[in-house]
Structure formats: C-alpha cells, structure tokens
Chains A and B, each alone.
Chain A
Amino acid sequence: MSTNTAAAASRILESAERLRRGLDVAFRDQMIEAIYDDANAIAGRAIRRGRAAGPTWDEKLDRILTSRLWAFPIMLVGLALVFWITIVGANYPSQALAFVFFKFEDFAAGLFDSIGIPWWLTGFLWHGVYRGLAWVISVMLPPMAIFFPVFTILENLGYLPRVAFNMDWLFKRVGAHGKQALTMSMGFGCNAAGVIACRVIDSPRERLIAILTNNFVPCNGRFPTLIMLATIFVAAAFPPALASFAAAGSVVGVVLIGVFFTLVVSWLLSRTVLRGEASSFTLELPPYRRPNIGQILYTSIIDRTLFVLWRAILMAAPAGGAIWLLSNITVGGVSLTEWVSSVLDPLGQAIGLDGVILLAYIIAIPANEIVVPTIIMAYLGAGMMLELDSFAELQTLLIDQQGWTLLTAVCLMLFSLLHNPCSTTIWTMYKETGSKKWTALGALMPLAIAFVVCFAVAQTVRFLF
C-alpha cells in the first residue's frame, strides 16, 4: 500500500470518528431502526393474510406478558409466588426433618456414651459432623425440592426468554447484553451454572460483565439463609395471617436489590474496565409448551436438588467437624471459636454483624449453604444441648441469647446477597475466562461491595436510632 493511500485511509478513519461523535443518537440504533422500518414496510406490501385469522392464543399471551404495562408487575408477582410457595411449603417439612434428625443425634450420642466410647469421638462425630449434615439437609432439602421444580416449570413453559425480552432495555442501557437476563435467571439455581450459561453471550466484553455480576442473584445455596431470616425477623413483625406473604415479599425485595446491584455494577464495568457499546441480538420467543411434569420432577429432583444437596453435604460434614474442633480445643481456657470470633468481632460489629457470622462465612467459602448451620453450631458451642427443631427456638437463640436485631438480619441478608461467590463459582469463573485477573476481580469486588454496603447500612441505622 502506498503511503498516499495509507494517509488517505487514516483520514477516512478520522472523519468517521468525528462524524460518529457528532451524532446525538448512536448511529447503530438509528440504523437498526431504519432496517426494521424498511423491513416492516416491505413485508407489509408483500404479505396478504388469508382468512382474517385473529391473533392466536400464544400471541395474545405474549402481548400481555411482554406489554409495557403488565410485563414487570407480572414478573414480580410470579417471583413472589414462587418464593411464597417455597416458604409456605418448606416450613413444615423442615421442622419435621430437624426434629427427627436431632432426636436421632441425642439417641446415637447417648448410645455411644453408654458403651464407653470416648466423649471427644462422640462429640466430633455426632455433635460435629452429623449435626452439620442434619442442619444442611433439614434447612436445604425442602426449599430446594419445591423451588427447583417450580422454577423448572417456568423454564419449560418458555417464560424465561420473555423475561429476557422484558429486561433487555435495562441491560442495554447499562451497556450489557440483553441475554444477561437469561444468565441471571440461571444464577438463581446455582451461580456456577449461571457463569457457564454466559457462553450464550457472544461478545467477550459483555460475556465478562455477565460473568462478573452473576453472583448478585442469590443462588439456591443462599435462599435458605434469606428465607430463614425473612421468616424469623420479618414475618414475626406481621400478624400470622400475613406472615408468609411478608416473608416472601422481603425475599423478593432482596432479589430486587440483587438485580439493582447487577445493573449498577454492569454499568460501572461498561464505563470503566470493560468499555463499549451494547450489541444487538435477535431473541426468538419459542412457542409456549405444556410442561412435562414427570420430566420436570426428574430433572429438578435428580439433576439439581440432589446434585446441589450432595455438594452441600460433602462440604457440611468437614465444616461440622471443624466447628466442633474449634469449639472444643481451648487455649488458655478459651475455645478457638471464641478466640477467632472475638478477633473478628470489631470488624463484624462495624458492618452490623458479629465475629461468629464472619467466621461462618470464612468456613463456608466452599459452599454458602452451610453458613446458617455453622453460625448456629458456633453459637451453641461445645456442651450445649439445645434442641433447635423449630424456628421459635432459633428465634430464642439468635434474639434473646445472641442479641440479634432487625439490623443484624438486614445486614446479614445484604451480606449474603452481595459477598464473594463460593469456591466452585470462583473456579468456574477461572475456567470460563481463563484469566486470574478477572477471576480475582469477580471474587473480590462483590466482597468489597458487601462490606461497604453493610457498613453504610449499619452506621446509618445506628446514627439515626
């Protein structure tokens, strides 16, 4: 290429740049609009619809589900309904499971004692490992066994692409990809699965945004924490008839805060380290299908519920053992649990939590599911034989004995929503991005946000009241 042409080429690029800056509406949007207008006009002239067949029922349904007025209220009500069914449905089975499991713990520990097995082995096995397992199963299994099938029904109906359709403009406005609504929805099940689902986004920039922000939708491992807190602290403030609705509503509120942070962080990323414009895409709304109930039960119980539960169990057993050891090994008359949590306590108090909760989050890095069981076991300590087979007793422990307030609950909900992803998700981020730098950002940025937000909330509330 001659130098002449090269100079002319760079002049062309310069004027393109200048002209692009001169346009107030993005050129891309203007072109897409022009293309759609032309396509619409040409198709209108060429097509004659025979027998004035009115809109089919699914077209009518789509018109409502994606309408300006109804799309968002319907999504909110749907989300609230899913949580309400989960909360109401899981309450009784959870208590029943806990009752049976803890009765068995007493029985087995008593049996061990009576045949002369050393106290530390009994304690480690039954009050440590077994109790961790029992907690995880009774707290997690019922909500998951309800939440996953209900969510899968929505998925099979074909509702999720409509959600993506409705939320497209929000994501576009923050410089992210409209399909991020889909990957976000997958994150409700499991953030690691959500991160893998980001493969549907072609543009590397927007895919990274989706990966880095997936953590802000609470995964199934974190729902039990949210549901428990909503039940104990929020529902308790309402008359019994409204309690379950209040609990579901507050979980929806937490999810909305998560969506808010997803959008804000996406916006910040696309304005700073991942600068660029949102790319357009075509999302085909698949036909509505009648969900196959048998298949749904199979996939959601076998593939998801048991899969996630098994992972939690693998993590809970060693965590239960670790907590028991920490509570029973004493240095200078003080157990390691007390020692570590007292070191963490000032930091915890500053963000509305306490040292034990932070300790639980450190132990729960492999799996968020075990946060609540870890907190409770750490509170109960070594010798205490408190029966915790109902929410009422849990309430006594947390509020009366440990001094939790509504502020603690709110901060813990926020921390649970915003903090760093579990190690499985972090590892998946690394596999998907192939970059240590992005993985580190994906792990540390949410943690920093969680600390800042909880600190701000705690200090503001303490200042005001």
Chain B
Amino acid sequence: MTTQRPKSLRRRPLPVIPPEAARTGLRQLGIDTTDWDYVVTLAGNPNTGKSTVFNQLTGLRQHVGNWPGKTVARAEGGFEFEGKKYKLVDLPGTYSLLSASTDEEIARDFILFGRPDCTIIVVDATVLERNLNLVLQILEITDRAVVCLNLMDEAQRKGIRVNHKTLAKDLGIPVIPTVARTGHGMPELLRVVAGVAAGRITTRPHRISAKGAAARSVEQLVEQIEAVYPGLPNARWVAMRLLEGDKRVEDAIRTGEIAELVAEQQLEPANAAHH
C-alpha cells in the first residue's frame, strides 16, 4: 500500500525553478547539506506531492542521498533562503503516526527526536478531511509546523474550494495554498517556513479534543510528566502515547531519551520563546 517514490518521480514533469521564488532569494543547494542553520522536514500522506515540493526547494531531480530500507526511504537535500542554510528531510508518506509500521515509526521518530525546526505538512486539497488526520497527529508532537495545501488546481477542477484562512485559524498554524508542480505558492511557503524555523512566527496548534474519561486520564498524566520533565514541548502527546501503551515511547521514558529532549530544548534559548 505504500507508494514508491522513484516511480512517482519519473512520471512527473521536471521541476521548474519558479522565477518568483528565485527573486525572493531561494538558492537550491541540491545534495549539499553542510553547515545548515535549520532542519526542515516534509511530512504528509502518500501521493500528495511531497517529492515535488522537495524537488522544488532543493533543485534535486533524482534520488541522491536516498537510503533505501526495506520499504522506507528518507531523502535529504539542501537550500538557502535569505542568507540561511536549510537541510530538508523528506519523510516517507504515511496516513497516520499511530500504527507500528516502519514508515510511520521513521516519520514519527524524526519529528519527535530529530526535532526539526519546521515541519512542512503537505496536504492534498482534494481530500482534505482524510489528510487532516495526519496533520492533527503531527500538531500534537510539534508546534513548529506549516501546512502546504497542495494540489489546489485539482481541487478547483473538482469544484472543491478550500478556505485556507479558516483552515489556518482552526489549525493554529500557517496554511499556504500551492500548486507544487508549477511552483505556485512556493515563495509564500518559504517565507513562513523561514519564519517558523527562526521563531519569528509563533503558532497555537490545535489540540485533539479528547472527551470524558480519556481526557481526564491525559490531563492527570500530563501533570505528572511535566513535573518530572519541566519544559518538555510535547508532554500531552507523550501522555497519549503512554496511555495507548506505545512501547517506543515507554522505552524513551525508561532510558531517559525523553529527558535528553528537554536538555536540548534548554540549550536553544531562541526556541524556548514559544513554549
């Protein structure tokens, strides 16, 4: 059921460097990811155009720096924008972060433990509701996220109009409508990515509204977790994973990996501003 990236890449037309993006100061660095200032990651459902966005930003057209696992591939590339260098990590496409599949674990672990400075969530505008499931789950892990509302041209053709301002207000993070294939919306996307990565744009991410006994259990556990790890950015998510019996997160607590997240957090004073 997973989509293999190489095939979808071959089918797509070669990415064009959007002239307006060039004017706004994008420099595609291809596989050069040395001395980066910020780490940005691409997440999203399969077949939403993540790879196209990746190619648009890095100028890469092939599989360079691609580590094939059994079914998993994580691609890396670089770009420079307004004097800052970014490392861009393309994650495997997943529908959720809840199951134990290898793809989902890689995506989740990178967002949680890789602590990207910004996560671009690529969303298919034609099937928004299904894509939002993943968006909501990612927002529980990180508040440094941006939605790239892609395939707007297809949505229009199907008579679906998405109000990105309402969506941004509901999700509490920037939402940029794009047509990645043609490069439409890429300059705006870059601008908000840079803003979120540098901490200039603060977000108030949507929280999953658990009800009743489940909500009370989460609250109780969050209190306890925050008391032990003050400053942990995603205590709520950790609590939810523990209630579900997630072995990976249980291990992270047992081995102290979670504590390291807090330590990292305190080393980066610039990031602490929006917690």
* A15 proximal to B (CB < 8 A): yes
Instruction: Kindly identify, within residues 11 to 31 of chain A, every residue whose CB is under 8 Å from any CB belonging to chain B.
Output: 11-13, 15-16, 19-20, 22-25, 27-28, 30-31
Contacts A25-B214, A35-B133, A35-B137 aside, 11 further interface pairs with beta carbons under 8 A come to A24-B213, A31-B240, A34-B208, A35-B208, A40-B129, A43-B128, A46-B163, A47-B128, A53-B159, A279-B98, A280-B96
**Quick one: which of B159, B164, B255 has the most chain A CB within 10 A?**
B159
Q: Are A46 and B211 in contact (CB under 8 A)?
A: no
- The answer to whether A46 touches B162 (Cβ under 8 A) is yes
- Which single residue of chain B is at the shortest CB-CB distance from A8? B228
A31-B1 contact given A39-B129, A51-B159, CB 8 Å threshold? no
In the docked arrangement, what's the CA distance between A20 and B52, Å?
42
B244 close to chain A: CB less than 8 A = yes
| Residue pair A16, B242 in contact (C-beta under 8 Å) | yes
What is the distance, in angstroms, from B109's C-beta to the closest C-beta of chain A?
15
* The 5 residue pairs across chains A and B that have the minimum distance between CB atoms: A202-B101, A282-B95, A39-B132, A1-B256, A43-B129
Interface of B is mostly: helix
Q: Which residue of B lies closest to A177 (CB)?
A: B99
Instruction: Tell me the smallest distance from the CB of B221 to a CB of chain A, in Å.
Output: 6
B228 touches A39 (CB 8 A): no
- Among candidates B133, B242, B256, residue contacting A12 with C-beta atoms closer than 8 Å: B242
A33 to chain B: closest residue by CB: B211
B161 contacts the other chain (Cβ, under 8 Å)?
A: yes
The contact of A280 among B99, B162, B243, B255, by CB within 8 Å, is B99
- Mostly, the A contact residues are helix
How long is the Cα–Cα vector from A336 to B1 in the complex, in angstroms? 52
Most chain A C-beta atoms within 10 Å of own C-beta, residue among B95, B101, B253: B253
A460 at the interface (CB under 8 A from B): no
Known: A39-B132, A46-B128, A48-B163. A28 touches B244 (CB 8 A): yes
Q: Contact at A43–B132, with CB atoms within 8 Å?
A: yes
B209 touches A37 (CB 8 A): yes
Once bound together, how far apart are the Cα atoms of A50 and B159, in whole Å? 5
Number of interface residues of A (CB under 8 A): 51
Closest residue on chain A to residue B100 by CB atoms: A203
Interface residues on B, range: 35 or more
Measured CA separation A32–B211 after assembly (Å):
12
Residues of B within 8 A of A35 (CB): 133, 136-137, 208
| Residues on the B chain within 8 Å of A179, using CB | 1
Q: Which residue of B lies closest to A199 (CB)?
A: B71
CB-CB contacts of B96-111 with A at 8 A, as 1s and 0s?
1011111110000000
Partner of B170, one of A11, A12, A42, A48: A42
- Given the complex, which residues of B lie within 8 Å of A47, measured CB to CB? 128-129, 160-163
| B224 and A34 contact, CB distance less than 8 A | no
State the A residues within 8 Å of B (CB): 1, 5-6, 8-13, 15-16, 19-20, 22-25, 27-28, 30-32, 34-40, 42-51, 53, 179, 200, 202-203, 277, 279-284
**Quick one: which of B164, B210, B221, B256 contacts A5, CB cutoff 8 A?**
B256
B221 touches A12 (CB 8 A): yes
Please report the C-alpha to C-alpha distance between residue A35 and residue B208 in the assembled complex, in whole angstroms: 6
Of the candidates A11, A38, A284, the one whose C-beta lies within 8 Å of that of B224 is A11
Given contacts A36-B133, A38-B209, contact A31 B214 (CB under 8 A): yes
Q: With A46-B170, A279-B100, A280-B96 as known contacts, state yes or no: A30 contacts B210, CB within 8 Å.
A: yes
Residues of B within 8 Å of A51, CB to CB, are 159
Give 8 pairs: A residue, B residue, CB < 8 Å, sorted on A. Answer: A20-B245, A23-B243, A31-B244, A34-B211, A43-B132, A45-B163, A46-B170, A50-B160
Give every chain A residue within 8 A of B213 (Cβ-Cβ): 22-24
Beta-carbon contact of B243 and A42 below 8 Å:
no
Q: Mark B151-173, 1 if CB is under 8 A from A, else 0.
A: 00000000111111011001100
CB nearest to A1 among chain B residues = B256
Chain B residues near A22 (CB-CB < 8 A) = 213, 217
| Complex: A34 Cα to B211 Cα, angstroms | 8
A36: nearest residue on chain B (CB-CB)? Answer: B133
Are A19 and B159 interface neighbours, CB within 8 A?
A: no
Question: Does B141 reach chain A (CB closer than 8 Å)?
Answer: no
Residues in B whose Cβ lies below 8 Å from that of A8 = 227-228
Please, which residues of chain B bring their CB within 8 A of the CB of A37? 209
Smallest Cβ distance from A49 to chain B, in angstroms?
6
B128 adjacent to A28 (CB under 8 Å): no
Q: Which residues of B contact A284 (CB under 8 A)?
A: 1
Which residues of chain B from 203 to 234 have any CB-CB distance to chain A below 8 Å in the complex?
206, 208-214, 217, 220-221, 224-225, 227-228
Residue of A nearest to B159 (CB): A50
- A45 touching B170 in the complex, CB below 8 Å, given contacts A5-B228, A9-B254: yes
Q: Is B31 an interface residue (CB 8 A)?
A: no
Q: Is A31's CB under 8 angstroms from B159's CB? A: no
Which residues of chain A are within 8 angstroms of B250 by Cβ–Cβ distance? 13, 16
Query: Is there contact, CB below 8 Å, between B209 and A34?
Result: yes
Say yes or no: B136 contacts A39, CB within 8 Å.
yes
CB-nearest residue of chain A to B252: A9
The answer to the question of B259 belonging to the interface, with a C-beta cut-off of 8 Å to chain A, is yes
Instruction: For residue A18, give the distance in angstroms from its CB to the closest CB of chain B.
Output: 9
Shortest Cβ distance from A43 into B: residue: B129
User: A9-B228, A27-B214 are known contacts. Are A15 and B221 too (CB-CB below 8 A)?
Assistant: yes
Q: Which chain A residues lie closer than 8 Å to B129 at the CB level?
A: 39-40, 43-44, 47
Residues of the A chain whose Cβ atoms lie less than 8 Å from the Cβ of B211? 30, 34
In the bound complex, residues from chain A placing their C-beta under 8 Å from that of B242 are 12-13, 16, 20
